[in-house]
Chain A
């Protein structure tokens, strides 16, 4: 069985602060894929990143960075110099092959101007 845990239900930070969203996963598969999606107030899920289980290189995209550690089964997401437009619910998800995504319960991030 696959499981994704996002222990932080809600986070609030002041604009320009850095913030890290945690994600811990469980799977018995040796090949799997990890994702982060953003769900702004409009409701549509927006893809942010995908990693496969064989690629533990951290990735940076502008103000966003991701830290994948197989040893701790974690795939954390950091936003540097947060902006009000970053306010949204963020979901971590896991899948195997072409199959269903298993989502965490999400972290609601509020950036205070």
Chain B
């Protein structure tokens, strides 16, 4: 079956511009996660959706970052007034949700964002 897909694969933008990054999770996965990976680092958590609602947005660095998942499937990460420090690979993951938790998170290929 299809895995997690992310578009675009690469995005180059200028400082101050607005960008949207899209994630299509695995069908039926209720949990969706966004992470950011800078060069030489591990992925860092941004936000987690359970269905349509953001269950944890504690990783969003500031109010320029916002994410939505209006129908509980596709999610869009939105970055306003981009800064050079936003340059990174943005990873999306999805998983089943069970009462016990600890389910495997399936990752997409990422979107490489470059802010010039």
Contact = CB atoms under 8 A, between A and B. Distances in A.
Interface of A: 4, 32-33, 35, 37, 42-47, 50, 52, 91, 93, 95-106
Given A33-B101, A52-B102, A43 B109 contact: yes
Interface residues of B, number: 30
A101 B45 contact: yes
B89 to A, nearest CB: 7
6 A-B pairs with the lowest CB-CB distances in the bound complex, closest first: A103-B42, A33-B102, A97-B101, A100-B45, A45-B107, A98-B101
Interface string B27-45: 0000101010000111111
Interface string B80-105: 00000000010101010110011111
Given A97-B102, A106-B41, 18 more contacts: A32-B102, A35-B104, A37-B107, A43-B110, A47-B104, A47-B106, A50-B102, A93-B42, A97-B101, A98-B50, A98-B101, A99-B48, A101-B43, A101-B45, A101-B105, A104-B42, A106-B40, A106-B42
B59 interface: yes
B38 to A, nearest CB: 11
Contacts, number: 67
Contacts of B40: 105-106
A80 B20 CA distance: 43
A44 B97 CA distance: 22
A102 B41 contact: no
A32 B102 CA distance: 7
